[in-house]
Chain A
Amino acid sequence: MRIADRPFAVAVCLALVLSVLPTRIVGGVVADVSGVLMAMLNPPAHVLQLVREWLRPPLHAQGPDDPVVRELLRERDTYRSQWHAARQEVLELERKLDQLGAIRRSDPSGAWRLVDAAVGMAPPASGQGIISLLAGTALGISAGDVAVVRGDLIAGRVGPSPDRLTSTLLPIGHPALGRIDASIVIDESGPGRRMPVQLEASGGGRLSCDVALDGGVTPGMVVRLRDAGWPKGAQGMVLGTVVEVGRKDQQPLRGRALIVPAIEARNLAEVTIKATGQVKP
């Protein structure tokens, strides 16, 4: 096939060269150009996100029409999350008591503040891209902060190097979040018996973990965060729900649970960040 003109051939060659150059050589410049472009596209993209959320709200954002009942449910979820967090802390303290014979209280300062961040572009990258947020270090957002929805559902984690006015969100299920320690709550409404698991991304925005086949894990159970590498304010919050439990192909005596994130972050117009950084006006 004949390509029409020489400038085009040069442009294609340039693009092909760029496509194979290591990120450390061209990544900075390309990321800057991308940043300028995204800064222009984010405001209209946010408007479209609002329209989309209005047309088709995320499943978990739907609630009863009665505002009083909705508020009660929100409070119930918030206190339930706090209860789970407190219970995990108690268990942790008991473990330390057994091991060290002394109490070491963890930091009770709760040094974070809530920041509402509008969602900009949720770029098309085969469902595994990152999400732009229209809030940054100026509001105290720092890398690793947790984005929550409805006070109890974790939407993701702020990516590294947030800018002054923008930042990125790695949604739950993104491989870049690495392995996440969590607990599958066996009886959510009862005493809160739980099974510790380690989650990993399994593609398509989902998570999976190894479970004991006779451990009582069934679809519908809630998975809550218990990872010391995550901010303290996020412990006990909901990561997702078990949707499938089956045998592992390679190890038939062990089970594999598939978990769907509690909230599809790409369908949101706004998230709340538990910001731990200092406000930089």
Chain B
Amino acid sequence: MRSPVYIAALLVAVLLDGSFLQVLSIGSARPWVFPVMLAFVCFNASKSAAWWGALGMGVLYDLVSPVAGAAGTTIVVIGPNTMGCLLAAAAAIPLRGVVFKRNPVAVGVLAGALLLIHQIGWFAGWTIRGWLGDPVPWTVGQVGGAMLASFWASCATAVLGIPVSFLLDRIEGWWGFPPIGSVARRV
């Protein structure tokens, strides 16, 4: 996988997720583009590149997600999104041989599922931070609501994932993925 292409795509994804995709939200169903990209990379890149890509994606999303600390200060925590992305990658990479990766519907639905898995890691990461005394980005007593919102977001992501994975499939040549069946793809 060509790193510059991945980094550029990642920056576009973080901009879209952070500043634009709320335009497509319906109630709590707010789509995200990063699970689609994660699924695309995990299904096409070599294993090593997919793992590194997931790690980089998680760290970047953590860095652009400051939250307000206890005394109103701004804190940035590396971990929740990183754990979430690694968890999602751990779920996606073994499915490489199972999923028909050129089917946008399959990739879209899997992107929705990956967002749910990512959210498990994200909640786990913040729960650990909560034990350490940091404020968690949800209100105590409203965790169920936050998880339900995650479910609706994954549904919206699955829908968005269909056209996005179709577009990514069209530009697959730019990414420099190793050919299917090659030794490089299995490493």
Contact = CB atoms under 8 A, between A and B. Distances in A.
B58 to A, nearest CB: 7
Interface of B is mostly: helix
B55 A19 contact: no
B100 interface: no
Instruction: Classify chain B's interface size.
Output: 35 or more
A37 B48 CA distance: 25
B73 interface: yes
A23 B68 contact: no
Given A19-B125, A31-B76, A41 B139 contact: no
Interface string A16-37: 1011101100110011011001
B59 A15 contact: yes
A31 B66 contact: yes
A44 B14 CA distance: 11
A127 B3 CA distance: 30
B25 to A, nearest CB: 9
A48 B23 CA distance: 10
A15 B79 contact: yes
Given A4-B51, A16-B79, A19-B79, A31 B125 contact: no
Given A23-B134, A176-B135, A201-B139, A15 B55 contact: yes
A212 B142 CA distance: 23
A45 B66 contact: no
23 contacts: A8-B52, A8-B55, A15-B55, A16-B79, A19-B129, A20-B79, A23-B77, A31-B75, A34-B76, A41-B14, A52-B22, A123-B65, A124-B17, A124-B61, A126-B137, A129-B137, A130-B68, A160-B74, A168-B68, A170-B68, A201-B139, A202-B139, A266-B22
The 5 A-B residue pairs whose C-beta atoms are closest, nearest first, are A19-B79, A203-B142, A176-B68, A203-B139, A48-B19
